[in-house]
A and B are shown apart, each in its own frame.
Chain A
């Protein structure tokens, strides 16, 4: 999508010049957004409008601008962005531009370019031949990389309201424990159904699945403790989840449940602490370490059911990021946080829906990497978690204050699961 902003000034309303310019944009297959409008208070006062003109190609945009300029539309003077070389590895120029997670463009060689892989709180690295721009985390920058500095020649697009009139139509980081959940869960289920349907059709026709055709699930161990394991496993087995982010604990307790019927030592059926149950997750981790990897643990028959087994069977892309308090950890857990961030970023392209369930730190880490356009649902029994997520900038997330297992059961039931 190519965009340029024009201004129109004068007695543009009664002369119908504004109407003519807007009609001309539409007649030439463009669209517009009126960014600013000032209407003169008296007949003598002039009016003005700033209009963002959008077209599906630079050529079509140029044709539209050519057609509206004789009617007084003036392309707003836009300067190229400024760039400076990074002074050393892992260090940005002092005045680097810090990104938001909204769609962003930079102007380079008189042309607006989309910044690829947009996410918040990183910098923009520019390459000249061919001209391109992509986000770069501070730690990954190399000495001499050209980094966008200042704010000149950078523009950020407001979040477009989704076409669907569902719970995501007004993404506004609402968090409330007093809102009926079933309607929102039904909307989440409908989106998951559509994504799976689209992927299946793409596979049948031999084509690639499109952008936004992946569901990301980010989960914490409370899912297992609270009894959401079966529902989550069913969602994965049924092809509704395509990427899993978690830590050591979710995987460890999921496999502990498979091997010992406990989660952190509590019997999932009996609902009470089992003798020596506190050892179960350590024995689980040890056995999986012996197997060598999560995949080998499943393929060898050690782990037969549950979340991890379903992920392995369904080829779900898993990123397990470790923390300082982890036992073990399990093989496949990435203990270097920078490597973990890189692995998470690599799994994000194509994500069209993110479910962040019963985890604080993984939810915020994921929210930091997600573009604002990805519908995001944060489920936690503690209202502080979705609130914290939105406070950290993920304003597009919708918060559901409820028990993780109840959420997963209701979601799975809405998609056809029968307990």
Chain B
């Protein structure tokens, strides 16, 4: 059973602008966001068979809900994020405390070494890919390679709208890759093509990439993704996955969706 760390959106809202999706004028409908989050949680637990670990929300930290940015967790060790934007740095201690209290070995990177957790680290069992340039520093990924003993291939993100790797890149459990190539520079596109053959690369159309189709959660044969992405849904159905579209529009206002709202713990 896949376990995910989540944080209810009790204090979620747009209180600052740190990515092109965020507009202070585009306020979050609190009731709608809570309803959407509860639906996501129910789908993950009941339909996808996942187990959810719930963090306690903290007033004044509206983005604590995006637990994908807590850090990266593997084999009992959590490397906690160092957020590029000061607005989110208050989250770091809460994430670190949660991992400590739950028996994980907790590691911190040097200050000034920006790293935004699993939002920028995704991969297959043998190779991990990391996103850099927008939020995380490439030097952080060098440290992860030492900590986890994994091959880590850094990919340059070239568009501020796709500022984390998980906004444009989603490895699936059967080895396919759902991704949006235009978010990467040509070197990164070549490196991806070198590691994932053409049959396994599933390219998301622009309109659905803009709805964060790649910000999907894959648990076994289940894929939970934002609603309104019919082509992506059809592609994945063809590959034998069971699709669970969820309306997460309130979170898209903040530049996040299904994947950003979860952190795989196993």
Residues in chain B near residue A17, CB distance under 8 A: 138, 154, 187
**Are A15 and B142 interface neighbours, CB within 8 A?**
no
In the complex, whether A43 has a CB less than 8 A from a CB of chain B is yes
**Are B191 and A16 interface neighbours, CB within 8 A?**
yes
Say yes or no: A14-B194 contact (C-beta < 8 A), given A20-B187, A46-B142, A72-B139. yes
In the complex, whether B102 has a CB less than 8 A from a CB of chain A is no
In the complex, whether A11 has a CB less than 8 A from a CB of chain B is yes
In the complex, whether B41 has a CB less than 8 A from a CB of chain A is no
**Are B187 and A10 interface neighbours, CB within 8 A?**
no
Q: How large is the interface on A (under 10, 10 to 19, 20 to 34, 35 or more residues)?
A: 10 to 19
Residues in chain B near residue A187, CB distance under 8 A: none
Residues in chain A near residue B127, CB distance under 8 A: 43
In the complex, whether A19 has a CB less than 8 A from a CB of chain B is yes
Q: Please, how many angstroms separate the alpha-carbon atoms of A10 and B154 in the complex?
A: 9
Q: Please, how many angstroms separate the alpha-carbon atoms of A71 and B156 in the complex?
A: 8
**Are A72 and B145 interface neighbours, CB within 8 A?**
no
Residue pairs across A and B with CB atoms within 8 Å: the count is 55
In the complex, whether B237 has a CB less than 8 A from a CB of chain A is no
In the complex, whether A415 has a CB less than 8 A from a CB of chain B is no
Q: Please, how many angstroms separate the alpha-carbon atoms of A43 and B126 in the complex?
A: 9
In the complex, whether A2 has a CB less than 8 A from a CB of chain B is no
Say yes or no: A16-B190 contact (C-beta < 8 A), given A10-B138, A10-B152. yes
| Shortest CB distance A124–B (Å) | 35
**Are A72 and B142 interface neighbours, CB within 8 A?**
yes
Say yes or no: A10-B141 contact (C-beta < 8 A), given A15-B155, A44-B150. yes
| Shortest CB distance A132–B (Å) | 35
In the complex, whether A343 has a CB less than 8 A from a CB of chain B is no
**Are A70 and B138 interface neighbours, CB within 8 A?**
yes
Question: Which of B153, B190, B195: most chain A Cβ within 10 A?
Answer: B153
A1-39 vs B, Cβ < 8 Å mask (1 yes, 0 no): 000000001110011110110000000000000000000
Q: Please, how many angstroms separate the alpha-carbon atoms of A14 and B133 in the complex?
A: 18
Say yes or no: A14-B141 contact (C-beta < 8 A), given A43-B126, A43-B151, A44-B150. no
* CB interface residues, B 143-167, toward A, < 8 Å: 145-146, 149-156
Considering only CB atoms, which chain A residue lies closest to B127 in the complex? A43
Q: Please, how many angstroms separate the alpha-carbon atoms of A363 and B155 in the complex?
A: 58
Q: Please, how many angstroms separate the alpha-carbon atoms of A15 and B142 in the complex?
A: 12
Q: How large is the interface on B (under 10, 10 to 19, 20 to 34, 35 or more residues)?
A: 20 to 34
Q: Please, how many angstroms separate the alpha-carbon atoms of A117 and B146 in the complex?
A: 46
In the complex, whether A91 has a CB less than 8 A from a CB of chain B is no
In the complex, whether A312 has a CB less than 8 A from a CB of chain B is no
Q: Please, how many angstroms separate the alpha-carbon atoms of A14 and B145 in the complex?
A: 14
Which of B142, B156, B190 makes the CB contact (< 8 A) with A9?
A: B142
Say yes or no: A72-B191 contact (C-beta < 8 A), given A10-B142, A46-B145. no
In the complex, whether A74 has a CB less than 8 A from a CB of chain B is yes
Residues in chain A near residue B141, CB distance under 8 A: 10
Which of A14, A44, A46, A71 makes the CB contact (< 8 A) with B195?
A: A14
Which of B126, B145, B195 makes the CB contact (< 8 A) with A10?
A: B145
A165-193 vs B, Cβ < 8 Å mask (1 yes, 0 no): 00000000000000000000000000000
| Shortest CB distance B128–A (Å) | 9
Q: Please, how many angstroms separate the alpha-carbon atoms of A43 and B153 in the complex?
A: 10
Say yes or no: A14-B191 contact (C-beta < 8 A), given A70-B138, A72-B138. yes
Q: Please, how many angstroms separate the alpha-carbon atoms of A120 and B83 in the complex?
A: 53
Which of A9, A11, A20, A70 makes the CB contact (< 8 A) with B153?
A: A11
Q: Please, how many angstroms separate the alpha-carbon atoms of A44 and B152 in the complex?
A: 8
B179-192 vs A, Cβ < 8 Å mask (1 yes, 0 no): 00000010110110
Q: Please, how many angstroms separate the alpha-carbon atoms of A9 and B133 in the complex?
A: 16
Say yes or no: A70-B133 contact (C-beta < 8 A), given A10-B138, A43-B151. yes
Which of A9, A11, A16, A43 makes the CB contact (< 8 A) with B187?
A: A16
B9-41 vs A, Cβ < 8 Å mask (1 yes, 0 no): 000000000000000000000000000000000
Q: Please, how many angstroms separate the alpha-carbon atoms of A70 and B146 in the complex?
A: 20
Considering only CB atoms, which chain B residue lies closest to A48 in the complex? B142
Q: Please, how many angstroms separate the alpha-carbon atoms of A106 and B206 in the complex?
A: 54
Q: Please, how many angstroms separate the alpha-carbon atoms of A206 and B114 in the complex?
A: 59
**Are B187 and A19 interface neighbours, CB within 8 A?**
yes
> 6 A–B contact pairs at CB < 8 A?
A14-B195, A15-B191, A16-B190, A17-B154, A17-B187, A72-B138
8 nearest CB pairs, A to B: A15-B153, A16-B187, A72-B138, A10-B142, A43-B151, A20-B187, A16-B191, A15-B191
